[in-house]
Amino acid sequence: MSRLSDERVTSLHGAGGELMGKLLAERILPAFRLRRAGPIGLDELDDGAVIELPPGQVVVTTDNHAVKPFFFPGGDIGKLAVCGTANDLAVMGAQPVAITMALLLEEGFSLADLEAILTSAARELADLGLPLVAGDTKVMGRGELDGIVINTTGVGVAERAISDAGLAVGDAILVTGTVGDHGMALLAAREGFHLQTELTSDVAPLWPLLAPVLAAGGITAMKDPTRGGLAAALNEMARKARVGIEVRENAIPIRPEAQALSDLLGISPLEVACEGRAVIAVTADHAETVLSLLHAHPQGKEARIIGRAIPDYPGRVVLNTGIGGRRFLEMPVGDPVPRIC
């Protein structure tokens, strides 16, 4: 495969024949050679993988990634496809142990871009020590798909899985970092403002940050504020647990660049996705310990306690806006940024 830069995906790449085998063997599989999760893995190209799991509760999650643009400030669809799924496991309290990846490609998609995307995904997997155990590639005709869609399915193991519904009155609510970075960075890229702003996506794996926090105990609920952002995550947690959540608006960490863009575009950073943050509910007596553990990790430097679960307004989120002002932080109605993840 010479002159990769102008080579394109063709229908033959998805036909399961010689050309697809060459693409897999030469361009894709070499990037994914990692520690094995079982006696049969990706290398065998068998009909399925066999994995061996440590003791505990098995957690499974799946996600389609259709972000646009495919390369954005701070990341790309490959990195996002790994982090998005690994993070859903992490906020369930599960260590990611295996992942699968299924590619849908549009005929004509650049092979150089594909290689860059897969190399980026492989880098994240290597950092996490997470083996890719199964995969699939299908090619759709021109116009039948917009470029690339990546499905990843993750398997994780938790000592005791954490739901997003477990919070109780009195629990402290934390976020692990600034909110809305991913959504606002994507918006900036789409609107052509990316050269004027330093804002980059927060896309990153959460497990290295959350593992020590989970070990410390006291966590009652967790969620990654992806689509719908912090507003959707808090509302969902409040509704499921039938408690109110009171948040101090000025405690929510927001990058000045994200706020500036928000002021310009009229889209709230509280309503757009993060891809490397967690919302954590923790018993009041563990809150400071959890906060200092988060601060000890490079990804948790800007973690804050932003509020608490309250008996009033069950199912609602109340924002204290300072100087005695209060308003409900509503569940976002639609997605202000389509194809954000």
Q: Are 82 and 75 in contact (CB under 8 A)?
A: no
Nearest to 96, CA basis, from 79, 84, 111, 108: 84
- For residue 58, the minimal CB distance to Mg ion (Å) is 17
Q: How many residues bind Mg ion (CB under 5 A)?
A: 2
| Residue 91 CB contacts under 8 Å (≥ 6 apart), including other chains | 162, 164, 206, 210, 222, 223, 224, 278
Closer by beta carbon to Mg ion, 88 or else 246: 88
Closer by beta carbon to Mg ion, 20 or else 233: 233
Closer by beta carbon to Mg ion, 88 or else 124: 88
Closer by beta carbon to Mg ion, 224 or else 275: 224
Which residue type occupies 91? V
- For residue 88, the minimal CB distance to Mg ion (Å) is 4
Nearest to 163, CA basis, from 279, 316, 297: 279
- For residue 219, the minimal CB distance to Mg ion (Å) is 16
- For residue 103, the minimal CB distance to Mg ion (Å) is 22
Closer by beta carbon to Mg ion, 90 or else 306: 90
Q: Are 80 and 276 in contact (CB under 8 A)?
A: no
Measured between alpha carbons, how far is 269 from 263 in angstroms, rounded to an integer? 10
Candidates 94-102, 117-125, 216-224, 272-280; binding stretch for Mg ion (CB under 5 A): 216-224
Candidates 28-36, 72-80, 85-93, 101-109; binding stretch for Mg ion (CB under 5 A): 85-93
Count of CB atoms situated within 10 Å of the CB of 190: 15
63 binds Mg ion (CB under 5 A): no
Residues facing residue 119 across a β-bridge: none
**Contacting Mg ion within 86-115 (CB under 5 A):** 88
Residues facing residue 221 across a β-bridge: 281
Single out the residue of 171, 181, 202, 224 in contact with Mg ion (rule: CB under 5 A): 224
Nearest to 200, CA basis, from 303, 274, 119, 120: 274
- For residue 64, the minimal CB distance to Mg ion (Å) is 13
Residues that bind Mg ion (CB under 5 A): 88, 224
